[in-house]
Amino acid sequence: MEILAFSNIIPATPLASMPCGGVTTFRRPQPISAAAKQPPFLSRHQKLAHPMPPEKVEVFKSLESWASRFVLPLAKPVHECWQPSEFLPNPTKPAGDFMDEVKALRDRTIGLPDEYFVVLVGDMITEEALPTYQSMINTCDGVRQESAASPCPWAAWLRSWTAEENRHGDLLRTYLYLSGRVDMLMVERTTQHLIRAGTDVGLDSNPYLTFVYTSFQERATFVSHGNTARLAKKAGDPILASICGTIAADEKRHENAYIRIVEKLLEVDTNETMLAIGNMMRKRITMPGHLMCDDQDPNLFQHFSMVAEQIGVYTIDDYVEILEFLIARWRLEKFDGANRRWEARTICVRSTG
C-alpha cells in the first residue's frame, strides 16, 4: 500500500485547487507518513535573555498565596481525571473481543479523509512535544522550580498541568496507531526530532510574556481540538469525536488558569503586563510546533497549517477571534495612562484589524 507523506497530499501549488471551506471528497484510507529530518538548530533570538529585575521577580513571589487559592484549584485531582485507556480497546478482554474492538475502531475511521489525518498527526506531534513546553515555562524568572519536587505553587501548577497534558499525546498516539492510517515509525521519529529541536517563540524566560503566550496557546488548542471533534462526529467516528472533545475541555480549563494569571498581573503590575501583551501581539503568536519538518517537504509546518485552515480546524479567523476574546476578557480598552502602556494597548487592539 502506498504511504502518503504530507507532500503527497499537498500538490505542487499547495491547496490551490481545494474548495474553500473544507475538503468535500473522501479518498480511500491510506497510511500517512510524517518522515523526519534533522531540523536546523537556529534561533530567531540569538541573544541570551536578560534576567528580570529583582522587583519583578518579587511580583511573582508575592502572588504565590494567590496562586494557591485561584490557580491550583484548576488542576484536577488524579482520581477525577480521565485516562487514555477509557477511550481505547480493552487489552484485558479475550483476544477475539479485543480484536473486534480494534476492527470497530478501524471501521469508524474509514469516513475520515486523508487531510483530516494530516491535521490529527500534526496535533499529536505537537502534543507529544510536551517536555519542551514544560522546560520553556520552567526557565522563567520568578516561577521556575528550585527543585524537581518544589512545593512552590507555581511549580506545583506546572507539574499538574504537565501531568494532565501528558495524557493528550498518549491518547492520540495510541488511537492513530490502532487506526492503521498512519506510518507510526515516521511519526515517532518526527516527534523525537521536534522535541530535540525545541521551540523558539520569543519568550526570553520572561513570565509576563510566557503567561500571555500560554493564554493564547491554550485557547488555540481548545479551538483546534474542538474542531477536530466536530469533523470526526460529522464523518461518523463518535469515539474520536469524544476523544478530541475531552482533550478540548482540558485545554479550556488550562486556558482559564493562564488567563486568570494575566488578569491578576494586570491588576498588580499593569504597565509591565500591558507591555508584555503588546510585545507578543506585535511579533504575532508563533505556534509551538513551528520547527516541525519533513524530508519530503521542507515547509512541513506551513503546509500542515494550510491543511488545518482548509478543513476548518484552525483558521486565520480563529486567530483573530482569539485576540478579540483576550482583549475583551482582559478589558484592555479600560487601561490608559503612561504613553508606553497606551502604545501597547493600541498594538493589541489593532492586531485584530
> CA angle at residue 111 from 105 to 116, to 5 degrees?
95
267 belongs to an annotated ligand binding site: no
343 belongs to an annotated ligand binding site: no
User: Annotated catalytic residue: which of 193, 225, 254, 303?
Assistant: 254
Please state, in angstroms and rounded to a whole number, the distance separating the CA atoms of residues 166 and 154. Answer: 18
User: Annotated catalytic residue: which of 115, 141, 218, 255?
Assistant: 218
Full DSSP string of 147-204: STT---HHHHHHHHHHHHHHHHHHHHHHHHHHHT-B-HHHHHHHHHHHHHH----S-T
How many helices and strands (H and E) does the chain possess?
A: 14, 2
User: Annotated catalytic residue: which of 114, 250, 255, 318?
Assistant: 250
User: Annotated catalytic residue: which of 141, 165, 237, 255?
Assistant: 165
CB burial of 55-94 (b: ≥16 within 10 Å; e: otherwise) equals ebbebbeebbeebbebbeebbeeeeeebebeebbbeeeee
Is 343 one of the annotated active-site residues of the chain?
no
User: Annotated catalytic residue: which of 114, 128, 251, 297?
Assistant: 251
Within its chain, how far is the Cα of 225 from the centroid? 9
User: Annotated catalytic residue: which of 199, 214, 221, 315?
Assistant: 221
Is 58 one of the annotated active-site residues of the chain?
no
Query: In angstroms, what is the C-alpha Rg of the chain?
Result: 21
Is 86 one of the annotated active-site residues of the chain?
no
User: Annotated catalytic residue: which of 115, 161, 164, 168?
Assistant: 168
Q: Say whether 319 sits in a helix, a strand or coil.
A: helix
225 belongs to an annotated ligand binding site: no
Is 165 one of the annotated active-site residues of the chain?
yes
User: What region does 21 belong to: left with phi over 0, alpha with psi -120 to 50, or beta?
Assistant: left
User: Annotated catalytic residue: which of 64, 82, 188, 263?
Assistant: 82
Is 303 one of the annotated active-site residues of the chain?
no
Please state, in angstroms and rounded to a whole number, the distance separating the CA atoms of residues 52 and 73. Answer: 28
Residue 294 dihedral angles phi and psi, to the nearest 5°: -145, 135
User: Annotated catalytic residue: which of 114, 115, 123, 127?
Assistant: 127
168 belongs to an annotated ligand binding site: yes
165 belongs to an annotated ligand binding site: yes
Please state, in angstroms and rounded to a whole number, the distance separating the CA atoms of residues 154 and 181. Answer: 40
Residues near 41 by Cβ (< 8 Å), separated by ≥ 6?
Answer: 197
Judge contact between 182 and 173, C-beta under 8 A: no
- Measured torsion, CA atoms of residues 93, 99, 104, 106, in degrees rounded to the nearest 10: 130
Is 50 one of the annotated active-site residues of the chain?
no
Is 250 one of the annotated active-site residues of the chain?
yes
Q: Which residue is associated with the grid cell 485584530?
A: 352
Is 251 one of the annotated active-site residues of the chain?
yes
324 belongs to an annotated ligand binding site: no
Residues near 180 by Cβ (< 8 Å), separated by ≥ 6?
Answer: 29, 31, 106, 109
Is 82 one of the annotated active-site residues of the chain?
yes
Q: Say whether 297 sits in a helix, a strand or coil.
A: strand
Q: Which residue is associated with the grid cell 501548577?
A: 157
Active-site amino acid positions: 82, 127, 165, 168, 218, 221, 250-251, 254
Annotated binding site for Fe cation: 127, 165, 168, 218, 251, 254
Annotated binding site, which residues? 127, 165, 168, 218, 251, 254
